[in-house]
Structure 1
Amino acid sequence: MLWKVCGMRSDENIRQVAKLRPDFMGFIFYPKSPRHVEDLDQLVESFRHLNEETFTVAVMVNPTIAEAERIIKTRSFDYLQLHGKETPEFCASIKAKGVKVIKNFAMDENFDVTQLDRYRKCVDLFLFDTKTKQHGGSGETFDWKLLEQLPEDLPYLLSGGLSLKNIKRAKRLHAPAPQGIDVNSRFEIEPALKDVEKLKELKRILKEK
C-alpha cells in the first residue's frame, strides 16, 4: 500500500521524514492552513533530502493558473493536489503543463459519485477526505461505507483522520480498496511538525502482510 505524508515545512523535519522513504510527501500552499508553506525557495532547497522514490506533491485550494504555474515552474513537484472546486477543464490545463494531478473530493452522505466520471481523463489519482470547512487536516474520519459506491477501477488515496488506531482497518478495505493512504494531523507533534516515531510505526504496519 502506498503512503503519503502531508504537511511538513521545516528542513529538519523533512529530512527525518524523507529517511522513512514514503511514496509521496505533500507540502501545503494554502494561506488559511496552519501548515502553509510561505517560503517556496527554502522548501525546494530542502528537497535535497529526498530520494528518487519519493514523489513531491504541492497541495493547493482553488488556485489560479498563475498561482499553479509559480509552483510548476520550479520543476520541483511531481504532482499538484487540488483541494477546492477545480473543474475537469482546470485539472486538464494543469496536467498539460507537465505535472500529474491528484484531485481531492470531500466526502459526506450527499456526495455525488457520478461527478467522478468527468475527471477520469484529467486526474492521475483521486483522494477522498472528510468534508470540513478547512479543506483537510481536520483529523476527522468520514463513513468509509461511502467508498462502496466508487467504481472498482478508480485509483484513489484514502485520507481523513487516519491514525495508528484505525490504519489496520483501512488496510482491510475492499470496497474498492485504496491504492494508498494520506496522513497528516494524527501524526503530528504540532501543526507542520510530524511525529517521526509514529510514522515509523505506521510504516511497519503498512509493510505487514
Structure 2
Amino acid sequence: MKLKICGMKYPDNILEVGALLPDYMGFIFWEKSARYFDGIIPELPKSIQKVGVFVNATVEEILEKIEKHDLQAVQLHGAESVAFCEKLKKSIPNRIEIIKVFSILDTFDFTILKPFESVCDFFLFDTKGKLPGGNGTTFDWKVLENYPSTKPFFLSGGIGIEEIKKLVETLQCNVSTNCNVSIKKLPIYAIDVNSKFEIEPGLKNVQLCRDVALQRLK
C-alpha cells in the first residue's frame, strides 16, 4: 500500500517529509486553498512522485505547472468532465498519471465512474465537505463495498494514524478471522493523508508523518 502526503507548502518542511520517502507528495495549485503552493519545489528523492492538485483548472494551466515543477502526476479535484480528462490525457506525456477525485458522504452513485475509467489512471475517494479537500473528516468506508470497478484508487478523507492502523489490519488479516473481507478485496492502491498530520495548514508534523510511513510498512 503506497503513501501520498498531500498539501505540502513550506520548503524546509517539504525536505524533511521527503526524507521519509513517501511514494507521492501533493502540491495544491488552487489559490483558494489554505495550502496553496506558489513556490519552487525543492529537489526531492527520485522515488517520490510529485502530484499537482488542481480544481477546475484549464488544460493550459495544468501543462504550465507540469513543466515548471516537473510533475509526475495530476490530481483533478473539481468538476472535470470525461471530455476534459480525455483532452488532458492527450495533451500530457504518457508517463504522467491522472488521478480523478470523487467525493463521498453517506452514499455514492458508482455508475458515474465507468466513463472515466479510460481517461484516468486512478480514482481518489475523498470526503464530501465545504471545501474540495482537506476537510479533516472521514466518510463511511462501507460505501466502498459497492465499488464495481477494478481501477485502483487512492483512499483519502480525514485519515489519521488510527484509521491507517485499522486499514492495515484489515488488509493483512486472514479471511478466516473476524475482519472486513469486503474492504480487503478492494483495489486500494494508496492512502492519502493531509490535515490529520499537520501543525497548521500546509505545515506537516514530521513525527506523525514518520509514524504513518512506518505503519504502512508493517
Normalised by the shorter chain, which TM-score bucket?
Answer: over 0.9
Residue deviations 1:137-181, cap 9 Å, x none? 011000100111112522001000100121111222315141110
Q: Which piece of structure 1 moves more, 168-177 or 179-188?
A: 168-177
Q: Answer whether contact 2:52 2:65 (CA < 8 A) is retained.
A: yes
What is the root-mean-square deviation of aligned Cα atoms in Å? 1.3
Query: How many residues are aligned here?
Result: 202
Q: Answer whether contact 1:152 1:175 (CA < 8 A) is retained.
A: no
Q: Aligned residue for 1:6?
A: 6
Rounded Cα–Cα distance in structure 2 between residues aligned with 1:63 and 1:154 = 24
Q: Which piece of structure 1 moves more, 105-114 or 193-202?
A: 105-114
Rounded Cα–Cα distance in structure 2 between residues aligned with 1:113 and 1:101 = 19
Q: Does 1:16 align with 2:16?
A: yes
Identity %: 40
Q: Aligned residue for 1:120?
A: 117
Q: Answer whether contact 1:26 1:58 (CA < 8 A) is retained.
A: yes
Residue deviations 1:76-96, cap 9 Å, x none? 101110001101111122222
Structure-2 change in CA distance of 1:78 and 1:148 (3 Å): same
Superposed counterparts of 1:19-58, under 5 Å: 19-39=19-39, 42-43=40-41, 46=42, 48=43, 50-58=44-52
Superposed counterparts of 1:105-116, under 5 Å: 105-116=102-113
Structure-2 change in CA distance of 1:79 and 1:29 (3 Å): same
Secondary structure at the aligned position of 2:184 is classed as coil
| TM-score normalised over the length of structure 1 | 0.92
The one-letter code sitting in structure 1 at the alignment partner of 2:66 is I
Q: Does 1:91 align with 2:76?
A: no
Q: Which runs of 5+ in 2 are unaligned?
A: 171-182
Q: Answer whether contact 1:151 1:176 (CA < 8 A) is retained.
A: no
Q: Aligned residue for 1:187?
A: 197
